[in-house]
Structure 1
Amino acid sequence: MKFFLDTANLAQISQAASLGVIDGVTTNPSLMAKEGVSGREVIRNHYIAICSLVDGDISAEVLATDYEGMVVEGVSLSELHPNIVVKIPCTADGIRAIKTLASRGIKTNCTLIFSVGQALLAAKAGASYVSPFVGRLDDVGADGVELVGQIVEVFARYGYPTQVLAASIRNAAHIVGCLEVGADVATCPLQPILDLLKHPLTDKGLEIFKLDTEKLR
């Protein structure tokens, strides 16, 4: 499974890249605003900066919500860097835009997926990725990891090449759950990835190692 970092923070992206386990980045307008990035030209330059830090797919979300606007903006974003994946919301206009962009060889990530049906339509339109939102489904009493598994199973059964990108990942347990059901990618902040390193037996073993090392000095 690939790890994408879900942030627009350049320092965090650089830190994660230094670990050697980050395969890409996902962003959205909210994450950009959180970093104080605003204005189309500034946003475009920010995406270029992200692409310089990570050699992998970088999801850049359109701001438009209508078909024509999403296509125009999607083409423009794709021209920034070969690794740009145009992020499109799962709406009727969004599905149309994905179909058009895919026909032009532009990679897309269909976001705000909350059902198998939505994922299926995105895959049929030619989306490179679909992004089911695990944490947000859990928030309303549904099982986000279960949905990820259902989408993986449907895509495998019918031979869709679209990758399942588990989004809205809140913790290490979400990552492991999505791994177990076959997600292609998990995107999340840096902390849940770092939390995968944690285990009390590792801490205990390290302390013993340090004590034994001191005895040899």
Structure 2
Amino acid sequence: MKFFIDTANLDEIAEAKSWGCLAGVTTNPSLYAKTGGKLADFEPHMLKIAELCEGLPVSAESTATTAEGMIEEGKRLAALAPNIVVKLPVCEAGLAACRALADAGVRVNMTLVFSPTQALMAANAGARYISPFVGRFDDIAEDGISQLDNVVTCIKNYDWTGKNVDDTVEIITASVRTPNHVTQAALLGADIATVPMAALKKCLHHPLTDQGLASFEADWQKVVAQA
């Protein structure tokens, strides 16, 4: 399973990329707002992320509310850099825009997916990536992992050749809150987990690893002291 980072913060992206295991970036309007960015700087900021992650897919989300607006904005975003993927919400307008963009050779990440039927419709509309949410189910005391399981099973039941730009559909586990979400997604066979920086660091660290490193360092200092 591949790791994406879910952020629009350039410093976080650079740090995660330096670890050597980053395979992509996802952003959304809320994440961009957290950077303090202005409307006029949105597209230049997406370009900065794309350049920082050259060769890795970077999802930039359209904020339009009509199919026509999504198509126009999607083409403009995709033209910024070859690795930009246009992110669209699952809705009537989003599906129509997805089909048009896919037919024009633009990769689409369909987001805000909460059901297998939404995922199947997105795949049929040409989505290259489908982003089912996990954590938001947990927020309302439902099981997000079981919902993800249903999406993974449904999508992987079928061959999506010819439906989209790259003849494949990858599932991005989104709204990830904990390392357990990542583990369960990998066990289910999800292709990607997009993880915020705080959760990504939790995936990396473990108290026994930290304890072991401290022990090794303490013992090595004893060796150095005898030199």
Secondary structure of 2:155's aligned partner: helix
In the alignment, the residues of structure 1 paired with residue 207 and residue 63 of structure 2 have an alpha-carbon distance, to the nearest angstrom, of 44
Counterpart residue number, 2:170: 163
In the alignment, the residues of structure 1 paired with residue 25 and residue 211 of structure 2 have an alpha-carbon distance, to the nearest angstrom, of 34
Taking only aligned residues, the RMSD between alpha carbons, in angstroms, comes to: 1.2
Q: Structure 2 length normalisation: TM-score? A: 0.91
Counterpart residue number, 1:189: 196
* 1:177 aligns to 2:184 (yes or no): yes
Q: Could you list the per-position Cα deviations for residues 183-214 of structure 1 after superposition, in whole angstroms to 9, with x for gaps in the alignment? A: 11111211211112222322232233223213
Counterpart residue number, 1:58: 58
Secondary structure of 1:23's aligned partner: strand
Q: Judge conservation of contact 1:148–1:164 (CA < 8 Å) in 2.
A: no
Query: How far is the alpha carbon of 1:28 from its aligned partner?
Result: 0.9
Query: How far is the alpha carbon of 1:13 from its aligned partner?
Result: 1.0
Counterpart residue number, 1:215: 222
Secondary structure of 1:173's aligned partner: helix
In the alignment, the residues of structure 2 paired with residue 104 and residue 122 of structure 1 have an alpha-carbon distance, to the nearest angstrom, of 16
Q: Could you list the per-position Cα deviations for residues 137-158 of structure 1 after superposition, in whole angstroms to 9, with x for gaps in the alignment? A: 1111221122222211112111
Q: Judge conservation of contact 1:113–1:132 (CA < 8 Å) in 2.
A: yes
Counterpart residue number, 2:79: 79
Counterpart residue number, 1:47: 46
What is the identity percentage for the equivalent residue pairs of Structure 1 and Structure 2?
Answer: 45
Secondary structure of 2:189's aligned partner: coil
* 1:145 aligns to 2:156 (yes or no): no
Q: Structure 1 length normalisation: TM-score? A: 0.95
In the alignment, the residues of structure 1 paired with residue 35 and residue 204 of structure 2 have an alpha-carbon distance, to the nearest angstrom, of 27
Counterpart residue number, 1:198: 205
Larger deviation, residues 109-118 vs 171-180 = 171-180
- Give structure 1 regions of 4+ aligned residues with deviation exceeding 6 angstroms: none
Counterpart residue number, 1:26: 26
Q: What number of residue pairs does the alignment pair up?
A: 216
Q: Judge conservation of contact 2:61–2:86 (CA < 8 Å) in 1.
A: yes
In the alignment, the residues of structure 2 paired with residue 31 and residue 211 of structure 1 have an alpha-carbon distance, to the nearest angstrom, of 41
Which blocks of at least 5 consecutive residues in structure 1 are unaligned?
none
Which blocks of at least 5 consecutive residues in structure 2 are unaligned?
161-167
Larger deviation, residues 199-208 vs 156-165 = 199-208
